[in-house]
Amino acid sequence: MCGIAGLVGCGDRETLERMTRIQSYRGPDDSGVWGEELPDGSWWGLGSRRLAIRDLSPAGHMPMADAGGRVRIVYNGEIYNAAALRSELESDGVRFRSSSDTEVLLALYLKEGPRFVERLNGIFAFAIADRREAPRLMLARDHFGVKPLYLARRGRSLAFASEAKALFETPDFHPVVDRAAMRSYLTFLWVPEPGTLWEGVEKLPAGHFALFERGDWKLNRYWDLTFPPDGHRFTGDGASLAAELRERFLATVKSQLISDVPVGAFLSAGLDSSSIVAAMRRATTGPLRTYTITFPKRHLVGENNLDDAAVAARLAARLGAEHHEITVESKVAELLPKLVWHMDDPTADPALIADYLVCREARKSATVLLSGAGGDEVFGGYRKYRAGLAGIAYRRLPALLRRGVLDPLMRCAPVLNGTPFKGYARLIRKWGRSASLEPREQFIQDGTSLDAAQIEALSPGLPGDSSAMHRAAFDRIAHADALSQMLYVDSHTFMPSLNLNYNDKMSMASSVEVRVPFLDRELVQWAAWNIPSSMKIRGSTTKWILREAMRGLLPEEVLRQPKASFGAPVGYWLMGELREMTDDLLSERRLRERGWLNPQAARRMIDEHRRGTHDWALQIWQFLTLELWAQQFMDRSSAKMAAPA
């Protein structure tokens, strides 16, 4: 894993060195910069910070050039089919100087051109500078967007980097908030890709590559997840499909253990991470390192997540793992500004704190971690999928009964803060506001933090349609069944913009590489076309087929575990350690000076939450994150961006 950066038609070598230096934690093992003057007198170049995972020798140095020095590459990621591609190229006469997959990418590009990206199976973001003819830059990003790539285009110039903060080092970069993106942030807690909260800064979309030549920008989709049409006849039975899924999954995990540095895994009592650890034990007899995050029980009263450290510890002992348990006590007020800086995009999911702390601890004994991210989006693990399917039946009830009686009753469910029923009450209220909507609107609404009326009260006049990306994804998958539609939409919105985004940023903040076996391209596409939705969610059981596939490899207590969020005790923190920070950063004076949120509306939500009349914990966390982001990225000069506040 690495941090990469580049310029075309703007800046100079010193600019590029600053862009790579600010990402130093992404690659503490090596750094490199290459650049030259273009025929029109402007400049272009590539920069890299390297975290050495494969071929730890200087032969893996980047930017890496071909034998003639006319084509160069910088690359962030891992290619899991690199060995097969290398063998094929060697049979064609290619001679390699290193054992790195970077050189495989370069050789395959020289042989096949930009469409070679279609043959890759892995997680990656890379840039190739080709000056054999007219100077041409190729940018590419992996199928699901595991690895980030930010870019800013201005006329005939282009700047790109693994992290948006590097773009602040480019000439004439003046950060301006995108007001339409602000509406999206208030709606979802994050900004849907490829947008960001800055005007003129975007992400290269997942599954795409782009060519930039003579100022001309051409974006190409090289891959998209597909599903069969509704009514498609699936041929396999549950037993045979579970057996095949098991073998495919074991092979996938084994392929992702290739590394020249120690490998470990996240471990909770959840099905996804437990499945990965069990598969790792099947694949190796060597050391197995696992890492679990937990919170003191007093922090978790009324929170909708499991304190599963004991279950994780029992599984680790059963598998003979070297287990590490990290207990989070406090210091959230110190951590939060730092993590906001590392995230680039404002992302108001408190789960990123747990993610960072696990990675920070793991870095002491492992450089690569395997994560269960993506398992829910592939096999139907989230409650909102069950809610979407239940909504189909609910809407068969008479409209008068639903809208006149049941919906209002559910929306008025008590808050129950400080009790074990708080999470259930929140789900009932959410169901009451969405269940009578048509299917796609129900699904979108279930993923929102604030509705249109609440946003208008908080920040009047924001333009745009926050759900445009979701509706466009629904349109592309309209031929499939209801669950497949939801899985597809999440894989293009929620998953890359939130889960994969914070997985990358929080791991790289600790110089750790995170791999995601559930998002192996071939495994996901096979599951989409061979496992019917009825075997993903069966009755009240989510991920039924995965549970069947792992039967015998995992103990029953793990197979029976209900879905638990990988979250954090936000309510406890807001009433305790973060109370003073909240009153400072979200005071009426501060909000008025910032000018983004209505001070009276925001403070009313804070007061209602403290009185226990409403549960606004996530929204208050969202406002805190936004103000910290503004201080880090809008109030500071480029010279002060080199370290978090």
The 10s digit of each residue's pLDDT in 426-479 is 889 988 999 999 999 999 999 999 999 999 999 999 999 999 999 999 999 999
Which domains, ranges and CATH numbers included, belong to the chain?
Answer: 2-186+196-221 (3.60.20.10), 238-380+491-559 (3.40.50.620), 383-480 (no CATH), 570-640 (no CATH)
Strand partners, 158: 8, 153
* Res 295: pLDDT: 81
Provide mean pLDDT across the span 183-204.
97
Residue with tokens 């497949």: 484
Q: Average pLDDT of the chain?
A: 94
Q: Are 415 and 425 in contact (CB under 8 A)?
A: yes
Helices (H), 49-166: 82-91, 101-112
Q: How far apart are CA 144 and CA 622, in angstroms?
A: 26
Helix or strand run (H / E) with residue 273: helix 271-283
Torsion, Cα of 592, 593, 594, 596 (10° steps): 30
Q: Which of 69-83, 133-147, 551-565 has the lowest mean pLDDT?
A: 551-565
Between the two ends of the chain, the Cα-to-Cα distance in Å is: 25
- What pLDDT digit, counting tens, does each position of 283-307 carry? 998 899 999 988 876 655 555 554 5
Residue 259 vs residue 5, higher pLDDT: 5
* Res 566: pLDDT: 57
pTM (2 decimals)?
0.96
Other beta carbons within 10 Å of 156: 15
* Res 166: pLDDT: 97
- What pLDDT digit, counting tens, does each position of 389-414 carry? 999 999 999 999 999 999 999 999 99
